[in-house]
Amino acid sequence: MACVTSRRPPSSSTKPKSLLDDVDALIDAATPEQIERIVSAWTRKAEAEVAQMSAPIEALVDSGDVASAMTAMRKVMLEQSLEVQRLKMLARLSKRLEFGKGSEKLDSNELEQAYLAFDGGVRADGSAPQCPSVPVPSPAAAEVDSETIAALGFSAEDSSEVAASDAAQTAAAEPERKKPHGGGGRRALSETLHRIEAAVRVPDAERPCTLCGRERKCVGHRESVRLEYVPGHIEVHVEKREVLACIPCRKDMSAAPRVELKRKVRAAPSLLAEFLILKCDDALPLHRVREQLLRLGIDLPKSTLGRWWDYVTMLLGPLADVVIGRLLADDYLGVDDTGLLYLKPTDKGKKRPGAKGHLWCFVGQGPLVGFRFTRTWDADEIATHLGLADGFVQGDAYAGYGAEVEVSDEKRRLIPDHKRLGCMVHARRLFHELVAAKDVRANPALLLFQSIYKLEAEYRERGLDHASRGRERIERSLPLFDKLAHWVHEIRPRLRPKDPLGKAITYFVNQEPFLRRCFTDGRFELDTSRVERAIREVAIGRKNFVLTGSPEGAERLATAYTVIESARRALGTERLRPYLIDVISRLENGHPLTDLHALLPVEWADRQAAKQAAREVGSDTAGGDGA
């Protein structure tokens, strides 16, 4: 008998509560004798359950009421069939989550098949219109589902309307692909790259003209480019200060003053900036950072690197606080969190040490992104930061957003209901998982989600501002959302309590007010994808370092990610290193804390542009005076 192994502690109960508990006990059994006993007990229990279900039917047969007995038999068979279908669907879903693709995109062929599965008609020329996609259901499932959809009021005309609008929106939203400049070819190399040019002359014997014999003149060059890699290196700058002393009297000794301020670590801002990039942007743990530096010729113990990490994150701490303050003052804030393991002092000697904390991500309307760490998932911890938000807050269905917490000496909801926004992606994902598991009942919801996002793509392609996008959403997108909500409320009373579709519908119903508010303002996005994109760097890096040494280390990691990710989003990867070098140097030299806003990435870029413009004006003036 094949089974999926699962290592879990044996139940403390002497009598299993269900057949699944018996399966767990069977898996954890160590000897063949124990396995045989458990299988026997499982068989006896199954026989007892069958006898219990058949007893009422046998009583009806004995009394001569054969019709009632047949009705009871059909009811039992229907319940067993539905349970088997539910378990098969869950098994398919588990297999897909384990081995299937992670993308939630569906291709156009699946879209057309989903349309036809709902009794969709064809055009006059015999072709089927384009429509949002789902996997092809079996014929029996399609027939049953068609009847169910018709009974619920979601007719073929509705599907035709959605599909036809999708086809028109796809044609309007899909941009025309432009060919690269010049018809193709390689991308031009940056002008900032260091170039070494080697001139190659035509041999003297070949320089005369083959027709008249006169020497030909150079009219241009043909270039052949070769890209070479030159490993980076570390320079040791030594400040040798002269020491004077009176030799005869062996007194009066003095040394030249320091040119640079005394540092707490030997690493200069340039090396500390590279250290931050390796640790956060490249997601390398300390031992791999040490290997990188070892390739450059410097051997440092991990304790020294840990001291450097503590020092540079302490320097950047006030700047990270300014970023968080700027984000919380935004009138539209996106929030999400991801797990982060950390060690506790009591974890020493444990086989699986670590407690699960949470790294929270905040994204505003600008390029800034902030991170904060909490040891638990309690709303009271994140209320220290999120409770100070002034504007609308968009997140998932985390229950703590609606919890009563204490903020500024008053008891209130962490996020007031009138300031809370939902996420359409989280609502859609549950329906998509059902469709991926061949549950075609979720197809109508997926059709409408697809139509809504087609409109969003059209709005982006047309470059609408916030006001125009808000008007378009109210006129075109909101009716589709209303149709989706109507379908959900129609089908909900017809579902059994344990129906997998009920989970998706319950999530949608609970989040419906917050989802609907997203359509009322063009500033708002329909989902938290921008936050999830920002938190992706942390999720990828977490696979490398797995956990942090302590809660304090997790807080330092949040500080570093705040500065690094904000700078990378605002300035780009190419200007990340110069920004970090300048900021670290200024903070080491006592930059005033009251002027930390000037070190934010956008303000820093504006100041650098102003300096560059001033230098260009000065050089032009000097050139004119010289002329």
Distances (CA, A) of 555 to 342, 379, 468, 546, 600: 11, 18, 41, 15, 20
Give yes or no for residue 123 having a pLDDT over 70.
no
What is the spatial distance between Cα 387 and Cα 383, in angstroms, rounded to a whole number?
5
Highest mean pLDDT among 127-131, 431-435, 452-456: 452-456
Q: What is the token pair recorded at 197?
A: 């040019």
Whether the predicted model's global pTM rises above the 0.85 cut: no
What is the spatial distance between Cα 405 and Cα 395, in angstroms, rounded to a whole number?
17
pLDDT, the chain, mean:
80
Highest mean pLDDT among 45-54, 179-188, 535-544: 535-544
Which one is predicted more confidently, 259 or 105? 259
What is the spatial distance between Cα 372 and Cα 338, in angstroms, rounded to a whole number?
11
What is the spatial distance between Cα 205 and Cα 200, in angstroms, rounded to a whole number?
14
Give yes or no for residue 207 having a pLDDT over 80.
yes
Q: Could you tell me if residue 250 is left (phi over 0), alpha (psi between -120 and 50 degrees) or otherwise beta?
A: left
If you count them, how many residues does the chain have?
627
Which of the four pLDDT bands, split at 50, 70 and 90, describes residue 510? very high
What pLDDT score does 248 carry?
80
Spatial CB neighbours of 82, under 8 Å, sequence gap ≥ 6: 496
Name beta bridge partners: 337: 360
Question: Which segment of 110-114, 155-159, 310-314 scores lowest on mean pLDDT?
Answer: 155-159
Which one is predicted more confidently, 288 or 123? 288
Question: Which segment of 122-136, 264-278, 350-364, 416-430 scores lowest on mean pLDDT?
Answer: 122-136
> Can you tell me the mean pLDDT for 551-565?
94
> Can you tell me the mean pLDDT for 178-203?
73
3 state SS of 351: coil
> Can you tell me the mean pLDDT for 536-542?
87
Q: Of 423, 376, 357, 433, nearest to 396 (Cα)?
A: 423
> Can you tell me the mean pLDDT for 426-430?
93
Q: What is the pLDDT of residues 478-507, one digit of tens each?
A: 999 999 999 999 999 988 878 889 999 999
What pLDDT score does 452 carry?
95
What pLDDT score does 140 carry?
37
Which of the four pLDDT bands, split at 50, 70 and 90, describes residue 582? very high
Beta strand 404-407 pairing with 410-413: antiparallel
Which of the four pLDDT bands, split at 50, 70 and 90, describes residue 262? confident
Q: What is the pLDDT of residues 68-95, one digit of tens each?
A: 888 888 888 888 877 787 777 777 777 7
The residue extents of the domains of the chain are 19-99, 108-170+424-520, 311-344+353-422+529-611
Determine what percent of the chain is predicted with pLDDT higher than 70. Answer: 77
Q: What is the token pair recorded at 188?
A: 């031009």
What is the spatial distance between Cα 252 and Cα 331, in angstroms, rounded to a whole number?
66
Q: Of 69, 26, 73, 32, nearest to 45 (Cα)?
A: 26
What pLDDT score does 191 carry?
79
Give yes or no for residue 375 having a pLDDT over 60.
yes
What pLDDT score does 547 carry?
84
Which of the four pLDDT bands, split at 50, 70 and 90, describes residue 23? low
Which of the four pLDDT bands, split at 50, 70 and 90, describes residue 130? very low
Q: For residues 416, 418, 422 and 427, what is the CA-based torsion angle, rounded to 10 degrees?
A: 110
Give yes or no for residue 468 having a pLDDT over 80.
yes
> Can you tell me the mean pLDDT for 173-177?
50
Give yes or no for residue 418 having a pLDDT over 80.
yes
What is the spatial distance between Cα 390 and Cα 408, in angstroms, rounded to a whole number?
13
Question: Which segment of 138-152, 406-420, 425-439, 531-545 scores lowest on mean pLDDT?
Answer: 138-152
Give yes or no for residue 19 having a pLDDT over 60.
no
Give yes or no for residue 256 having a pLDDT over 50.
yes
Which of the four pLDDT bands, split at 50, 70 and 90, describes residue 298? confident
Which of the four pLDDT bands, split at 50, 70 and 90, describes residue 540? confident
Which one is predicted more confidently, 43 or 517? 517
Beta strand 392-394 pairing with 332-342: parallel
> Can you tell me the mean pLDDT for 277-285?
90
Question: Which segment of 46-60, 249-263, 536-550 scores lowest on mean pLDDT?
Answer: 249-263
What pLDDT score does 128 carry?
44
Which amino acid is it at 23?
Answer: V
What pLDDT score does 469 carry?
95
Name beta bridge partners: 244: 254
What is the spatial distance between Cα 448 and Cα 166, in angstroms, rounded to a whole number?
10
What is the spatial distance between Cα 612 and Cα 401, in angstroms, rounded to a whole number?
46
Which one is predicted more confidently, 106 or 284? 284
What pLDDT score does 107 carry?
58
What is the spatial distance between Cα 236 and Cα 243, in angstroms, rounded to a whole number?
21
